[in-house]
Amino acid sequence: MEAANDTKQLILKSNPAARVDTLKLDLSSLKSVRSFADKFISMDLPLNILINNAGIMFCPYQLSEDGIEMQFATNHLGHFLLTNLLLENMKSTARKMGIEGRIVNLSSIAHLHSYDEGIRFDNLNDTDGYSDKKAYGQSKLANILHANELSRRLQEEGANITVNSVHPGLIVTALWRHSFILMRVLKLFTCIFWKNVPQGAATTCYVALHPSLKGVTGKYFFDCNEEKPGLMAREETLGKRLWNFSEKLLKSAQ
């Protein structure tokens, strides 16, 4: 919250007329997600854009407070629940304002390096075979599958909302706190590919705001260009299975 409030002051300094509200949200806690959604809805504000961007990376094995593998819980399930809880607000806003709503899931090129089966539906919480890198890749694969399946459902419904996923690139942020040494080694050999925070945010802002992407949905972007994600990320049956699996997890965690 301290960082959020610092950012709020930075925005107000450059644009004193802006209204900026900060609300606490812990994506690893389903209770926190529900509390956040309740508070936001009670504010009776329009919701045009939802960017699902919080996450953790390469952390040692641990379970969330809801008993779910931490990277999957934080990077996917928290966003899945948050999006579902705010979706009616987005649909209503799009109808009333006549402006296309946009949902953006931040994924990663790491979605290519998940477990062999993609998502460990049958042994998500098992310590056997746990890999901090593959668990992260699994959660990033889930981000794309979630975006694609939600996009398909909203298109069938005729809702004026697009859903896309992006890979922001290699950026030096606190996301690397569990792998600082790895970050330093990677940066040594791939320094020309690393971005600062504004550069890393560019693709997200492009997908969330640019007029040329009106009506574009169910796509994956990198460096402000549409790219083709990995094969498993394009499997519709896997996306549907993940959706059902996520709903069951939410029910069992209540």
Q: 130, exposed or middle or buried, with CB in 10 Å at 0-12, 13-18, 19+? A: middle
Longest CA–CA span in the chain (Å) reads: 54
In a 13 Å sphere around the CA of 1, the CA atoms on its Cβ side amount to 6
Measure the CA–CA gap between 130 and 69, rounded to whole angstroms.
10
In the chain the beta strands, taken as DSSP E runs, fall at 49-52, 101-106, 161-167, 170-171, 194-195, 220-222, 225-227
End-to-end CA distance of the chain: 26
Tokens found for residue 237:
């049956």
211 secondary structure, DSSP code: G
Q: Tell me if residue 115 is catalytic.
A: no
Strands 220-222 and 225-227, how do they pair?
antiparallel
Phi-psi region of 223 (alpha: psi -120 to 50; beta: other; left: phi over 0): left
Per the residue annotation, which of 61, 115, 130, 206 is the catalytic one? 130
Q: 164 in helix, strand or coil?
A: strand
Looking up tokens 């859903």, which residue turns up?
A: 163
CB neighbour list of residue 135: distance below 8 Å, 6 or more residues apart: 61, 69, 71, 72
Catalytic positions, written as ranges = 130
